[in-house]
């Protein structure tokens, strides 16, 4: 019902013809095509798609209805990131440092202190430092280099005293042979088998990401469709595992893709896209004292970077850096 209502609103909304790129963070269909062309040119993993002919938007070229990138890796769940942030704890002091989760509840710190105490008694310059208060200098307080040299010559002298002449190695030939019938081929040769190709492959979830033009909100809109490690489609609940929980079922909802009828995707709702993009553009210009210019065809590069905050574990953003031109 929600998709039908949005479709009616989009159908009744007139096509934006005047540029509102900097003023409102919006795009015309023509500017969307320009931005898509630059994205496809700079990042070959993206490509234009025409989609289902029955779903073509007349205000867009037939062969440039939306852009898509496929098989984007997603190596871990968002919950692992959130647990990491929650497990950090403050460390005493005025600088408000935090302890990472992996060290929050163990005795690593005390072990490090004990180790540093021992190391503190060892000198590299041959001088023996005075023992610390409350401790006794260990016997290893000599120079590390001296100890290594002494040990080397002690081993050499000991070996020389044990035997005046080197042993005959031929006496050990038969004793050191190990027969492994399983490793021998039919002709008696040792056979080494190559490891399976699958042993070197890390299987992960993957996603297809597509960006369409939303005529009602006059901004791009992101759609996600995921696959598990065996390339089977993910359920809605599984896809929500890869979305920041603050956005799941609110900013991100499950809807039918506008150019793929009957295929349910996770979609990032575009109601705030224009306002966010307006602030990003204004901040970039302000960083250059207002004496700079951003082109509308750079829009999707900025757009993809802020969308990453919603889906941080889907590793799609290999786009170029964007800077305002003076």
Range of the domain at 108: 80-89+98-133+141-152
Q: What is the DSSP track for 219-272?
A: EEEEEEEEE-TTSPBPPHHHHHTTS-TTTBTTTEEEEE-TTSTT-EEEEE--TT
Q: What is the pLDDT of residue 294?
A: 83
Is position 162 within any domain? no
191 occurs within a structural domain: no
CB neighbour class for 61 (10 Å; exposed up to 12, middle 13-18, buried from 19): middle
Q: Are residues 208 and 121 in the same domain?
A: no
Residue entry with tokens 């990003």: 280
* CB atoms near residue 47 (< 10 Å): 13
Task: Evaluate whether residue 196 is within a structural domain.
Answer: no
Q: 4: which residues sit within 8 A by CB, 6+ positions away?
A: none
Each residue's pLDDT tens digit in the chain (326 positions)? 556 666 777 778 899 999 999 999 999 999 999 999 999 999 999 999 999 999 999 999 999 999 999 999 999 998 887 666 555 455 454 444 444 444 444 444 444 344 344 434 433 444 444 444 344 444 444 444 444 445 544 554 555 455 556 666 666 555 555 555 555 555 656 556 666 655 567 789 999 999 999 999 999 999 999 999 999 999 999 999 999 988 888 899 999 999 999 999 999 999 999 999 999 999 888 877 766 678 999 999 999 998 998 999 999 876 666 655 55
Q: Do the beta carbons of residue 221 and residue 268 sit within 8 Å?
A: yes
Both 38 and 64 in one domain: the answer is yes
**Number of domains present in the structure of the chain:** 2
Tell me, what CATH number does 250's domain have? 3.30.1460
103 and 240 together in one domain? no
Query: Residue 262: inside a domain, yes or no?
Result: yes
Task: Choose, from 55, 74, 271, 296, the residue flagged as catalytic.
Answer: 271
46 and 127 in a single domain? The answer is no
- Per-residue pLDDT, 317: 73
Q: Looking at residue 9, what is its pLDDT?
A: 78
Contacts of 236 (CB under 8 A, 6+ apart): 254, 264, 266
* pLDDT for the residue 99: 44
Reported as a single tens digit per residue, the pLDDT across 29-87 is: 999 999 999 999 999 999 999 999 999 999 999 999 999 999 999 999 988 876 665 55
Catalytic annotation on 55?
A: no
Half-sphere exposure of 35 (CA within 13 A, CB side): 29
211 and 278 assigned to the same domain: yes
- Residue 201 has a pLDDT of 72
Q: Is there a domain that residue 177 lies in? A: no
Query: Are residue 224 and residue 301 in the same domain, yes or no?
Result: yes
Residue 125 pLDDT = 43
* Residue 228 and residue 209 share a domain: yes
Q: Is residue 35 part of a domain?
A: yes
């Amino acid at each position: 019902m929600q998709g039908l209502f949005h479709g009616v609103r989009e159908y009744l909304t007139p096509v934006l013809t005047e540029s509102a790129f900097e003023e409102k963070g919006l795009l015309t269909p023509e500017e969307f095509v320009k931005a898509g062309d630059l994205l496809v040119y700079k990042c070959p993993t993206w490509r234009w798609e025409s989609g289902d002919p029955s779903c073509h938007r007349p205000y867009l070229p037939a062969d440039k209805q939306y852009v898509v990138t496929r098989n984007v890796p997603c190596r871990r769940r968002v919950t692992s990131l959130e647990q990491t942030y929650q497990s950090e704890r403050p460390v005493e002091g005025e600088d408000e440092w935090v302890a990472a989760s992996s060290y929050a509840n163990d005795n690593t710190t005390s072990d490090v202190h004990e180790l540093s105490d021992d190391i503190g008694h060892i000198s590299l310059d041959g001088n023996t430092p005075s023992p610390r208060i409350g401790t006794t200098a260990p016997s290893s307080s000599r120079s590390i280099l001296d100890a290594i040299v002494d040990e080397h010559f002690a081993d050499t002298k000991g070996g020389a005293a044990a035997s005046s002449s080197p042993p005959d190695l031929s006496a050990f030939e038969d004793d050191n042979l190990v027969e492994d019938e399983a490793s021998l081929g039919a002709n008696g040769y040792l056979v080494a088998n190559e490891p399976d190709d699958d042993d070197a492959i890390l299987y992960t979830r993957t996603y297809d990401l597509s960006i369409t033009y939303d005529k009602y909100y006059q901004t791009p809109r992101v759609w996600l469709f995921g696959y598990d490690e065996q390339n089977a489609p993910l359920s809605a609940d599984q896809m929500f595992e890869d979305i920041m929980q603050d956005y799941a079922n609110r900013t991100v909802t499950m809807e039918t893709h506008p150019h793929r009828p009957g295929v349910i995707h996770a979609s990032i709702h575009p109601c705030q896209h224009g306002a966010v993009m307006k602030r990003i553009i204004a901040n970039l210009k302000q960083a250059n004292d207002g004496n700079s210019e951003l082109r509308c065809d750079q829009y999707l590069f900025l757009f993809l970077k802020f969308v990453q905050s919603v889906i941080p574990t889907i590793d799609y953003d290999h786009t170029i850096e964007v800077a305002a031109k003076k």
